[in-house]
Amino acid sequence: MRAALLQTIGDETLELVDDIEALPPGPGEVTIDIKATGVCHSDLHAMQGSLPQPAPFVPGHEGAGVISALGEGVTGLAVGDHVIVAWSPPCGKCNNCTERKSPHLCVMIQFAVAGSRRFTRNGQDVFGMAGTGTFAESLTVPQEAAVKIDDDVPFEIASLIGCGVTTGVGAVINTAKVVPGSSVVVFGCGGVGISAIMGARVAGAATIVAVDLVPEKLEQAKGFGATHACHPDDLAALRAELTGDGFDYAFEAIGLPVTMRAAFDAVRRGGMAVIIGVGAMDSEVSFNGFELFFSEKTLVGSYYGSADVRSDFHRLLRLWKAGQLDLEAMITRRIGIDEINDAFAAMKRGEVIRQVVTFD
């Protein structure tokens, strides 16, 4: 089958191959024929080594498709079911899933499969990003990683729910629990940042400021619910004009120390800065001891939008069906897998919100 393959961490381009095979489903596993998959910055982070991932591997983790085979003992799923791939699925049994009621923090399944082979090619073991690998026509995952959805949901829309939309909207409504009438600033207007802006609109924020270096993205952000938009250099003046002393909430969707620090600085005393962007493990952000005490700000990370994929995928799809999430407009380009390297180049240049690969 066709797939995009990264041979070595740090390679600039993916190799397009047609001789790779998905492993057959073992006990408790399902095989999914991928119909659509988004191109996410996290794929690039894994390719560059910012996210730990053994190689060679098939990138991609934001996908949707149809179940084509079941392993022994699978329950609640059937061949032909339409599903979204959940790259960090809850096991339903550990302390995070039960006592702590934080299923998004469960790594019992993800860590088990991320370091195991997912594909083979000419007798060589091939891994899948985060235990998935949606840049392939088919993949095999644990049944918990396949969330069944209604057949009338377009695969392109469903794929976005698998990561970017859940991550961005979830950071607002789950992690921060933004209250109606509040003020919000979002750093970064890619797929996750735009999703955070839509989440802030859904939550009833009165002021939503989009911050980005690319002028075209600032205009696009207004179409998704931003009430104001500005270049980073102009934020201080706009913040003073709109809030006086700072925003109630800030969301950082880039993953750089400078923007993480800027998010913290942008909120008022007692405000909340939420870090959504994936930073490198050797990147550090500095704070002095006095400001942490005196400002009483909350600085928190948001992993996968603090979402329970088993219910939140469906909640987000209901919001889309109700017209409160404009997911169609998020898709800047629809491409084939043969255009995947061009897609990453466009993403690096900041030209797109989300690109979706479809498999015919």
Catalytic residues: 40, 42, 45, 61, 163
Contact residues for 229 (Cβ-Cβ < 8 A; gap 6+): 189, 209, 210, 211, 212, 218, 219, 221, 222
Structure tokens at 141: 């995952």
Looking at residue 196, its amino acid is A
Residue type, 359: F
SS3 content of the chain, % helix, strand, coil (to 5): 35, 25, 40
Burial of 31 (0-12, 13-18, 19+ CB in 10 A): buried
The DSSP symbol for 56 reads S
Which is nearest to 38 in space by CA: 145, 167, 202, 183? 167
Identify the CA nearest to 353 among candidates 14, 41, 37, 12. 41
Q: What angle do CA 51, 54, 57 make, to 5 degrees?
A: 100
